[in-house]
Amino acid sequence: MTVERPRGYSGAMDTNLPNLPEQLSQVVRDAIRDELREQTKKQRRSARMYAGAGAAGLYGGAALTAFLLLALAMALPYWAAALIVAVLLLGAAVLLSRGARTSRRALPDQPAAPLEPGVPPGAPVMPSVTPPSVPERPRGPLDTPHDTGH
């Protein structure tokens, strides 16, 4: 009995089937590695841009400090101008550190305490619904019920 092989069949299929899981895992590893390489390339570029912006900001701040120092030195002695600029910079540092500290401590809104026993905190508050009441009977002049059944 002879088995007919389909057209285009090659003996390579017989040798690849036992190695298929290893080949598949290698292909997946290569694809993941290429994707990660591409993403890190973009992140490295962004990191370099942020580093350049930080350096430019640092040098700009230094130049602004020097300008402020020289401008104050025209009206005051150099030591007084330097002292004023130092106090301004230290004050800015204190304000920024306090702002960072308060923003770090800020907690998300805490749910309200339950209004009634058995109601979980943060549950939506439903308005109480009162059933319609029976209308009162009309009253007479002395606040006595007025008899309308004549």
Contacts (Cβ under 8 Å, ≥6 apart) of 81:
69, 70, 72, 73
Q: Which of 20-24, 48-52, 64-68, 71-75 has the lowest mean pLDDT?
A: 20-24
Residue 92 backbone phi and psi in degrees, to 5: -65, -40
The pLDDT score that the predictor gives to residue 102 is 78
Output the pTM of the full model: 0.42
Give dist(CA 55, CA 90) in Å, integer: 20
